[in-house]
Amino acid sequence: MGPLLDGYHRFREETWPQQRARFEELAAQGQKPHTMVIACSDSRVDPQMIFSAGPGELFVVRNVANLVPPYMPDAAFHGTSAAVEFAVRVLGVGRIVVMGHALCGGIRALLEGTPDLASDFVAGWIHIADRARSTALRCDTPEAAQEACEHEAIRISIENLLTFPWVAEAVAAGKLHLRGAHFGVATGRLLVLDPETDGFSPV
């Protein structure tokens, strides 16, 4: 707990005095984030830091390889789907951003095979993006395949979001916008998916 508590003390001494009024407002009035971000659990990729967002601005769910499963309302446990439902139907966010990143371990596992110690859950989870693997394996180099697979997994997640009927309805009504993005860990550069060309370009 040492490093965590050290960070908490810095928060209390430096950040809390500057943000106290904002937290008190959020506590009294509730949250009203403008955007949901579906990002990877990778410790190097922090949506709040990347978008310079303050408390209450982003509703964030993170999972291995920033994947969204298809709409499947059954008795199983659906953490990401539950977060999407809450963000869209309860909080009324105006956009959902699926943000992938370079050097993604989940995508590497999809391409090269899941490590034995991650076979209970990770192996099944990343199969959501199986189509991305097929696309990426046509690339000439491992680096190109990795990036192509990361990009395609973002597209797949956006397509899967549209299988949720209330997401599709909100998009059709112009109340919700779906966007894709890709963050370069080593470069700090953000690419965004152009919905017209279906290609990624730098901001």
- pLDDT lower than 70: segments of the chain: none
pLDDT (0 to 100) of residue 143: 95
| 142 within 8 A of 149, measured Cβ to Cβ | no
Is 95 labeled as catalytic in the residue annotation?
Answer: no
* Catalytic annotation present for 149: no
Candidates 62, 104, 149, 155; catalytic one: 104
> How would you class 106 by CB atoms within 10 Å of its CB: exposed for 0-12, middle for 13-18, buried for 19 or more?
buried
Cα–Cα dist 178/171, whole Å: 8
CA distance 70 to 104: 21
Look up 131 and say whether it is catalytic.
no
Give the pLDDT score at 137. Answer: 87
Sequence-ordered strand ranges (E) for the chain: 35-40, 58-63, 95-101, 177-183, 190-193, 200-202
Output the pLDDT for position 150: 98
Q: Please name each of the domains of the chain with its CATH number.
A: 1-30 (no CATH), 31-202 (3.40.1050.10)
Residue 69 is predicted with a pLDDT of 98
Which two tokens mark 192?
A: 């965004």
Active site residue 40: yes
Residue 60 pairs in a beta bridge with 37
Out of 9, 12, 44, 189, the active site residue is 44
> Among residues 62, 101, 108, 133, which one is catalytic?
101
Question: What was the pLDDT predicted at 8?
Answer: 96
Whole-angstrom distance, CA of residue 168 vs CA of residue 5: 43
* Catalytic residue flag (residue 104): yes
Q: Say how far apart CA 86 and CA 69 lie, in whole Å.
A: 16
- Fill in the DSSP letter of residue 118: G
pTM of the prediction?
0.96
Amino acid 135: pLDDT: 87
